[in-house]
Amino acid sequence: MVGLMLIVVNKRERQILNMAFSQQNIKIAQSDPTYSNYIKVLQYMPDVIIMEIPKMGGDQFHFSSMIRGNKKTRKIPVVGYGDKVNEMEMRYITKKGVNDYIERPLKFSLLLEIIQKYLKIINKSIDTANDDNSSEKDADIEQILDDNTLPSKKIELMVKHISGLIAFPFTVAKVLHLTGSEKSGAQDLAKVIEADPAITASILKVSNTVFFASLNRTISSIKDAVVRIGFKETKRIVMAMSVMDIFGKEDKCFGFNRMDFWVHSLATALISERIAKRMGNISTEEAFLAGLLHDFGILLLDEFFPSIFEKILEATTNNGSRFIDNEKKLLKITRNDIIKELFTKWKIPDSIIEAIDTHYDIYSENKKFETANEKISLCVYMGNIIAKTYCLGDVCDQYITPLENHLFEKAKMITGLGKDFLVSINHDLDVYRKFLNIKEDKRVLIRENKHIGIFCSANPLFVPVEEYLKAQGHLATRIPKSDSYTNFDQQFDAIVVWANKKTTLDSLLRLTSIVQRTKKEVDINKEPPLAPVLAFIYKDLPLAQEGTKKLSLMYNEFDLRIFDENLTRILGNKIISLPEPDEEQKSEDPS
């Protein structure tokens, strides 16, 4: 699939280009050069961006600079076009991150030639782009999208299209059965694996690679391979391979990448399993499988209902809200309603079904987590947010909610994740990449790292923005509470505050005048300005309604990509305001 993003202000040109590219079987996403549409670029990851550049193209140039400044998007070619420019203007356009510039009148043949040039670099071609001829019935789709159709009928229609075409892997059921038997061992697992020739071949192949090989001994039997890789590790790998083999690797919808999806799912599974192990008295295998399948419904939408999926994905990227909330708004049901029905038919354990159904709930401090099902749900809830925070794969949003200290206490992780946690997760992901043939993401880091001070009103064990900044290549340093902060002068480009429920507006305003900003971008002969402050607060506090023109504020439930935008804005001395009540995308209960 070839996907382009059009950032064209001229309505007539936009319509002509959209029609012309569609005739070439190219998927098109429309956007504007604004902060909010930066999320759309991160989600859709187009092969090429086509951008109209007007004479006063400040927004366009700022937008292209943001694209170049992010480690994920900096390699996306930007092809600009507009009126005739002189040599000095051309140098400026190039400096702002535009790879090619075409002067009007716009020649479509020339534009195609330039696009082909960039597609060739990534081994794609317009000529081989495939038209997506969906087999789903138009009448059923109309019913599913119709507000007057009962939710139960929508679920019935969607399950009908899915259950008749796929079945849950028999191998996974057998592995789970082995898990419940205390007498099972390598020989029993070997018999399960040998029943699947494709998995057998992969296990033998990878067990003989340098990654696992030792003493130059070649493995020729599955039992020996299980011993070399490890009994528990092999079980996890076999379950992952079986589940991933249900569908092909080719994406159906522009804006969704299946390989990135599986990396996120695997990361969530690995983290869920580790948390389950710490909690004890629950099946780590079921926690792993629940994490692996926690967003399986998204894959079903991509495979069987791409036209519906595209509508939900567009709404999600337009407003930076949760994908599951937009499902609820558009369909009055969510993918988890479908999963409950489908997985019950497939005889998936109730603990896994419940964990998938409830892992988007936000847990209060009063939640007890007494049953095994509730504990596995907590594992998946935490695993999903942690995987998103560290940018381990991609799904349909990067929306996170706070992981309060009481959740870590319930998970018996009273000191938090630990300094080696991310290292061990990345190590395990490397193992899976080898078995599942997933290419490692080798994108380069952002051009210029920033030094951000982190001020916490309390003592949280996990601050998502702090960990996200580190994952993006920035330097993040905790600022301890003190009577004087002058020793931090000129160290930070900005300060991020992670507030608690007792934080007041006055205490936040005081932070805006305590630390001088680094001199890197200011006149060395002038007094350095004060470091800009961005505070994350709770939605339900009076502070959220008070507002201020001196302090930038965000809610602590947000899409991390919005933080990308807002960090750029405060570094440019802009103030970030909370959304107006009628504009705010309120979270809905997905159950």
Q: Do domains 3-128 and 451-571 have the same CATH topology?
A: yes
What percent of the chain stands above pLDDT 70? 88
pLDDT score recorded for residue 583: 46
CATH superfamily to which 254-443 belongs = Hypothetical protein af1432 (1.10.3210.10)
Q: Does a cis peptide bond (omega within 30 degrees of 0) precede residue 105? A: yes
For residue 365, what are the contacts with CB-CB under 8 A and spacing of at least 6?
404, 406
Could you report how far apart the first and last alpha carbons of the chain are, in Å? Answer: 34
Q: Which of 142-146, 275-279, 341-345, 520-524 has the lowest mean pLDDT?
A: 520-524
Q: Which of 93-102, 174-183, 276-285 has the lowest mean pLDDT?
A: 174-183
pLDDT score recorded for residue 104: 83
Structure tokens at 507: 């205490």
The H or E element that residue 565 is part of is helix 560-571
Report which listed range, 252-266, 498-512, 543-557, is most confident: 252-266
CA 24 to each of CA 9, 48, 401: distance values in angstroms, whole numbers, following the listed order: 22, 15, 41
pLDDT for 381-412, tens place per residue? 999 999 999 999 999 999 999 999 999 999 99
Phi and psi at 496, nearest 5°, equal -110, 130
pLDDT for 42-91, tens place per residue? 888 999 999 999 887 788 888 888 888 887 888 899 999 988 989 888 99
Name the class of domain 3-128.
alpha beta
3-state secondary structure of 368: coil
Work out the angle between the directed axes of helices 560-571 and 464-471 (0-180°, nearest 10).
Answer: 80
pLDDT score recorded for residue 547: 55
pTM of the predicted model over 0.85? no
pLDDT score recorded for residue 535: 92
pLDDT score recorded for residue 217: 74
pLDDT score recorded for residue 527: 58
Burial of 471 (0-12, 13-18, 19+ CB in 10 A): middle
More confident residue, 251 or 564: 564
pLDDT score recorded for residue 525: 55
pLDDT score recorded for residue 589: 41
pLDDT score recorded for residue 425: 93
Radius of gyration of the chain (CA): 25
Nearest to 379 by CA among 461, 290, 468, 297: 290
More confident residue, 373 or 212: 373
pLDDT score recorded for residue 444: 45
Averaged over 22-38, what is the pLDDT? Answer: 79
Domain extents in the chain: 3-128, 254-443, 451-571
What single letter denotes the amino acid at residue 26?
Answer: I
pLDDT for 516-562, tens place per residue? 777 665 555 555 688 889 999 988 776 666 556 778 999 999 999 89
pLDDT score recorded for residue 445: 45
Res. 588 pLDDT band, cuts 50 70 90? very low
pLDDT score recorded for residue 136: 44
Separation of alpha carbons 376 and 283, rounded Å: 8
Separation of alpha carbons 534 and 497, rounded Å: 6
Task: Match domain 451-571 to its CATH number in 3.40.50, 1.20.1260, 1.10.3470, 3.30.70.
Answer: 3.40.50
63-99 b/e with 16+ CB inside 10 Å = b? bbebbbebbbbbebbbbbbbeebeeeeeeebeebbbb
H helix intervals, 448-524: 464-471, 505-511
Residue 581 pLDDT exceeds 60: no
Separation of alpha carbons 57 and 62, rounded Å: 9
Separation of alpha carbons 324 and 177, rounded Å: 32
Q: Which of 55-69, 121-135, 337-351, 478-492 has the lowest mean pLDDT?
A: 121-135
CB 287 within 8 A of CB 379: yes
Q: Which of 37-41, 92-96, 359-363 has the lowest mean pLDDT?
A: 359-363
pLDDT score recorded for residue 42: 87
Structure tokens at 220: 């020729």
